[in-house]
A and B are shown apart, each in its own frame.
Chain A
Amino acid sequence: MKKTKGIVSLITAGTMLISGAMLAGCEKKDDEMLTVAIGQFGEHGSLDNCREGFIEGLRQEGFEEGKNIEIIYQNASFDTGNCTIIAQNFVAQDPDLICAVATPIAVTCYNEAYEKEIPVVFTAITDPEGAKLTEGEVTGTSDALPVEEQLQLIRELMPEAKKIGILYTTSETNSEYTINLYKELAGDYGFEIVTKAVSDGSEVSLAIESIMDEVDCFSNLTDNTVVGQLDIMLEKAGNAGKPIFGSEIEQIKKGCIAGEGLEYFDLGVQTGKMAAKILRGEAKASEIEYETVTENHLYVNKAVAKSLGIELTDAVNERAEFVGEE
């Protein structure tokens, strides 16, 4: 009697698992349709733009959702455990291609798909080599920032400046890579980089205060945690009369003075076109080198420049795309 109870409850547990599987087991793959699985690390403006750009890129190459491709989309809510679950889900469904948006999910998808040789195309990854995403059926696009151009821009707008402050999060691989690049190149333009690391968003307002007196201006990366606190940063830096340079259009719109940045949507489109090549069978993922952004944009917020008393040079005015209020 007692044993039966034990067994019954064990069966209950088993059924829960298996019924979940059965619910979905009936999905059959259409031979005409190709399946593309898109995994995104979390809900985030830039990453969303990347994903939408990717779908647009596929569309431009003739792959339209519902017509000749089926798109499965899952989002990990910034949890590395969820990345694993999603990667397993994808590989189990045996899609024709996996697109992974941001480093953690790209790494897990790559590792899960490796054994089955499903091609993985990543995007929004700054340092694919550091993440070891270079061997096997994997390729994609890197969102490495145009650091050199950014330093040039700062020098042009602030000829007297000596020290640039940068805040970053220790847990973001992308930031670590970009900071190193900044430090490497800063000397060429006569700058010194002052960095302050935080471990979560709540520390940003303290961190910016701690280096405020030391630096002449700030430069922002695409660090998700820090960018999430941009409002408080702009307020504090604004009070001290120091500009923050941005790295992406949304940051400039919010109140950063200017920035050499990339358009995540364009990056997605570029990635979608690479994926199309693989889907058509023109090339294998292993044969395509990963790409970096082909086009930089210079964004300037005139109102902010004016309020900080910084004059825009002709060279800047010529190239700039003006954003924000006039």
Chain B
Amino acid sequence: MNLETVIGALNLGSIYAVMALGIYITYKILDFPDLTVDGSFPLGGAVTAAIINAGGNPAAAIAASAIAGTFAGFLTGVIHVKLKIRDLLSGIIMMTALYSVNFIIVGSKASLPVTGKDTVFSNSFTRNLFGEKASDNAPLHSLFDFKELITVVIFLIVLKVLLDLFMKSKRGYLLKAMGDNPTVVATLAKNGGNVKIMGLAIANAFVSVSGSLFCQYNKTFFLTDGTGKMVIGLAAVIIGINIFGKIRHIASTTAVMIGAVIYTACVTLALAKFPANIMKLVTAVLFLLVLVLGQVKIGTLNFSSKKGGDKK
């Protein structure tokens, strides 16, 4: 492992961080275990691969993914709120349906490559700026290894600021109130159900955008890209909130983003340094270590905070 591996982990971690922001909204704010994620993540990838292959603009593909994700989350919300299906089950229903939807979007193929096509990570702009190959000369060639990271961090910061701003708006407060104490929303004469639907829609927009970035970064869409993504997102949220959530100067959204990077770092370390048969075991031990160490560190440093382990 060397600097490039670390950058690789940061790249993927930052892409997962976008998804973690979405899962933070459903799991942490709305207290809604949203399984739609395993379908809406590849939905973003499918939309992106289809648009890019049709000659579309990669940035437009991200916007289209966001819209598709919003719609998926909206439907999960409607199934849950209007049809009164349990939260887990509404997610499962949407996840199941989205498998076929994704399949259809990419033209009934198991995978759709975007190799050789322009993506947000590799287009005429980035090629002029950083060069195309490691041996090229370009004005910012010293940053060649960082080009993907720079792009994804810019996206991440914009999305985080947007989410933070939204959380401070009237609707944002309603969303938080809905998770903490639904009666408050009712006393404000607002429809709590609609607030939930809105939350799910926004969350899945984030997840889809993450899927879109994942597809462009990997240069291929695979129908199985969504498998286990909910687990990754949840781990990121829990790691982030447990370690950094209690510190005043770090916003929850930042904590969750760092959580996603730590998650990816753990997996990278396990993959790179240990044999395949114990890889998952090592990953599990690393998570446990991170969570326990996080409690110890914060417990001794931050006297004003509550002791760890009290949050979900």
Contact = CB atoms under 8 A, between A and B. Distances in A.
B222 A6 contact: no
A108 B220 contact: yes
A20 B115 CA distance: 31
B273 A23 contact: yes
B247 A92 contact: no
Nearest to A133: B115
Interface residues of B, number: 64
Interface string B201-237: 0000000000000100111101111011000100000
B244 to A, nearest CB: 6
Main secondary structure of the interface of A (DSSP, over half): helix
Given A6-B247, A92-B1, A117 B133 contact: yes
B152 interface: no
A210 B1 CA distance: 50
Contact of B113 (A12, A13, A131): A131
Interface stretch (A73-81, A258-266, A283-291, A310-318): A73-81
Contacts of B248: 2, 6
A3 B264 CA distance: 26
Nearest to B110: A173
A11 to B, nearest CB: 10
A170 B100 CA distance: 9
Given A21-B6, A79-B227, A13 B134 contact: no
Contacts of B10: 17
Interface stretch (B74-82, B157-165, B191-199, B294-302): B294-302
B8 A75 contact: no
B272 A115 contact: no
Given A5-B301, A116-B134, A135-B116, A172 B271 contact: no
Contacts of B189: none
B174 interface: no
Given A21-B3, A85-B12, A176-B109, A77 B227 contact: no
B150 interface: no
B269 to A, nearest CB: 5
- Most chain B CB neighbours (cut-off 10 Å) among A2, A13, A40, A116: A13
Given A80-B222, A92-B5, A107 B264 contact: no
B132 to A, nearest CB: 7
Contact of B250 (A9, A173, A175): A9
B262 A13 contact: yes
B261 interface: yes
Contacts of B103: 170
A110 to B, nearest CB: 8
A53 interface: no
Interface string A74-114: 11111111111110110111000000000110011011000
A184 interface: no
B247 A9 contact: yes
Contacts of B223: 170-171
B57 interface: no
Nearest to B8: A88
A84 B272 CA distance: 12
Contact of B267 (A8, A43, A75, A82): A82
B220 A74 contact: no
B273 A80 contact: no
23 contacts: A2-B247, A5-B301, A5-B302, A9-B243, A10-B250, A12-B297, A13-B258, A17-B10, A17-B261, A20-B269, A20-B273, A73-B276, A79-B227, A80-B224, A84-B217, A85-B9, A88-B268, A89-B271, A107-B218, A108-B219, A116-B134, A117-B135, A170-B108
Interface of B: 1-12, 99, 103, 108-111, 113, 115-116, 132-135, 214, 217-220, 222-225, 227-228, 232, 243-244, 247-250, 258, 261-262, 264-265, 267-269, 271-273, 276-277, 279-280, 290, 293, 297-298, 301-302
Interface of A: 2-3, 5-6, 8-10, 12-13, 16-18, 20-21, 23-25, 40, 43, 73-86, 88-89, 91-93, 103-104, 107-108, 110-111, 115-117, 131-132, 135, 169-173, 175-176, 199
**What are the 6 closest A-B residue pairs judged by CB atoms, nearest first?**
A88-B8, A75-B276, A92-B4, A6-B249, A24-B1, A171-B223
Given A20-B265, A92-B8, 10 more contacts: A2-B247, A16-B290, A74-B276, A77-B280, A80-B225, A92-B4, A104-B222, A108-B219, A117-B133, A170-B223
